[in-house]
Structure 1
Amino acid sequence: MSKTATFHDLAGASVFITGGGSGIGASLTEGFLRQGAKVAFVGRSDASGFVDQMERDTGQRPLFIQCDITDTAALQAAIAQSAQANGTIDVLVNNAANDQRHETLEVTEEFWDWMQAINLKAYFFACQAVLPGMKAAGTGSIINFSSISYMMGNAGYPAYVSANAGITGMTRGLAREFGPDGIRVNALAPGWVLTDKQLEKWATPEALSAHLERQCLKDHLKPQDIIDAVLFLASGTSRMMTGQTMAVDGGVVVSG
């Protein structure tokens, strides 16, 4: 990845990322490290090799805490460990998600609860864990990953699109509640970013062509496009933005 802009206030910032060891999350970890931030992240799978690679590539070593984000106590303990190691968390990025495809008529209550636990519940309780420290500091930025999938009314994963709509509602409510404390809460809705997972599972030539036809900009999204947007929302450069859902999708959906 490349560093397309420098956000000076992110140097030394304490950043916590969920799912920061793979996919877009790994790119986010690298992006913040290259800005000089102190990064901690959680993930279910061992990310020791990635941590070593980041230290070699960026000169800074992120803190990895292995954790299942559906375990609320473990997630909040990881956030506390991050704050103890790197200082009060300045930036929270709720990135971890699961967009497993499923059919409405086959969804069980257990599956529904599991999908909400990953894609919505964990976001709320991560926010809850960082808010006291941010309130005491009088500042902070929370970025919740949503998706344009619910804006498009996509079929094929109803529990996922429901959670993403919930994320934007939660984002607005928290922004209103904690704005007086100097805390900003925004959502980022990526379009179809061509990660390795997407290329392996769903990005057939036909699907890519059809999606590109819907975009205003005729180029596929890359992780760098998302990194730059997150860094902007994390930085004081966006100091008067809160309660917003920013789509980075090449112009598939429109707002306003």
Structure 2
Amino acid sequence: MAGRYPDLAGQGVLVTGGGSGIGAVLVEGFAAEGARVAFLDIAEAESRTLVSRLEGKVAHLPHYIRVDLRDIGALRAAVEEAATIVGGIRVLVNNAARDDRHEFETVEPDYWDENQAVNLRHLFFAAQAVAPHMRKGGGGAIVSFSSIAFLLNMGELPGYATAKAGIVGLTKSLAGRLGPDNIRVNAILPGMVLTERQKRLWIDEATIEGGIARQCLKRSLTAGDMVGPCLFLASEASAAITAQTLIVDGGML
């Protein structure tokens, strides 16, 4: 895997939600390319386990910063800490999210606001915080993770679907605003990715079989399937690509 995108070697990369699931595999993928990676997560045990597992295996050991992304002040401070540690930020991967199911009839305003804080709000403020560092370095790339969930008419997670649709709008707007600073902004829309959390909470064998039946590719998607697309959009290989959404769903849509 290492060496596919040599321009990422030595570059500062910040990943939100990097302690487990797709985020952890992204942290490992960037580290394998020789990037200097910092990642933010509230889950301390999983995050420290990831760092320990990568010790001695990559040129630059990823740096973990514990932060609750709902706390924008703490997020801003974490971005500054990360920029100092990795020597500036060239790439931001807005990955953190939580796809909790919730009933339409029982959602209250506090839950709705909490859902948007977890799944949408921090993406804007992370981008706002890293932009000065990217400008200072002559440009950068922001890759935000949306989802095909908002395209599937899934009735069991309206708050999450709204946030994921919002990420597409945010991506388009930030691309327009930051393009003159040579900062590219794109989004990835994963399909049914079988993380441990998904298998533990939401996806059973029948769901997996049904999802694969709808895909062109007749296999389960893993977190590793998101690494290549993300590295591509973060690297100079996609230097003329911005304001775009890349669906990575095995051909479900």
Band the TM-score falls in, shorter-chain normalisation: over 0.9
What is the aligned partner in structure 2 of residue 42 from structure 1?
40
Match of 1:187 in 2: 187
The 5 Å alignment of 1:215-226 reads 215-226=215-226
Q: Does the residue aligned with 1:58 lie in a helix, a strand or coil?
A: coil
The answer as to whether partners of 1:172 and 1:185 remain within 8 angstroms in 2 is yes
TM-score (norm 2): 0.96
Q: Which runs of 5+ in 1 are unaligned?
A: none
Q: Report how far residue 56 of structure 1 moved.
A: 3.5
1:139 aligns with 2:139: yes
Task: Letter of the 1:239 partner, please give it.
Answer: A
Distance 1:63-1:244 versus aligned 2 partners, 3 A rule: same
CA offset digits 1:112-167 (Å, max 9, x no partner)? 00010011100000000011121232210000100000012211000000000100
Residue type matched to 2:155 in 1?
A
Deviation at 1:216, TM superposition (A): 1.3
Q: Distance in 2 between matches of 1:143 and 1:173?
A: 13
1:159 is matched with: 159
Give 1:57's aligned residue: 57
Corresponding residue of 1:32: 30
Q: Distance in 2 between matches of 1:178 and 1:60?
A: 29
| Contact map agreement 1:54 1:60 (CA 8 A) in 2 | no
Is 1:202–2:221 an aligned residue pair? no
| Unaligned stretches of 5+ residues in structure 2 | none
Say yes or no: does 1:230 pair with 2:246.
no
Whether the aligned pair in 1 keeps the contact of 2:2 and 2:33 (CA below 8 Å) is no
Using the TM superposition, give the Cα deviation of residue 181 of structure 1 relative to its aligned residue in structure 2, in angstroms: 1.1
The DSSP-based 3-state class of the residue aligned with 1:93 is strand
> Alpha-carbon deviations, 1:153-191, whole Å to 9, x = none?
211000000000100000000001111111100000000
* Partner residue in 2 for 1:247: 247
> Which range moved further: 169-178 or 219-228?
219-228
* 8 A contact 2:134–2:183 mirrored in 1: yes
Identify the residue that residue 88 of structure 2 maps to in structure 1.
88
RMSD: 1.2
Letter in 1 for 2:74: A
* Structure 2 residue aligned with 1:120: 120
Contact 1:38 1:86 in 2 (8 A): yes
- State the AA in 1 paired with 2:101: R
Identity %: 45
Counterparts of 1:50 and 1:5, CA distance in 2: 21
Task: Report the TM-score when normalising by structure 1.
Answer: 0.95
Write the distance in 1 (CA, Å) between the matches of 2:42 and 2:94.
Answer: 15
Between stretches 58-67 and 163-172, larger displacement belongs to: 58-67
Mean CA deviation greater in 159-168 or 149-158: 149-158
Deviations 1:207-235 (A, max 9, x none): 11111111111111111210111000000
After superposition, what is the alpha-carbon deviation per residue over 1:78-126, rounded to whole angstroms, capped at 9, x for unaligned?
A: 0100111111200000000010000111101111000100111000000
Matched residue SS, 1:57: coil
**2-side partners of 1:121 and 1:238: how far apart?**
26
Instruction: Provide the aligned length of Structure 1 versus Structure 2.
Output: 251
Q: Report the alpha carbon displacement of residue 4 of structure 1 after superposing the two structures with TM.
A: 7.2
Q: Tell me the equivalent position of 1:9.
A: 7
2:19 corresponds to: 21
> What is the CA deviation profile of residues 218-256 of structure 1, one whole-angstrom value per residue up to 9, with x for unaligned ones?
111111210111000000001111001100000112xxx
Distance in 2 between the 1:175 and 1:138 partners?
16
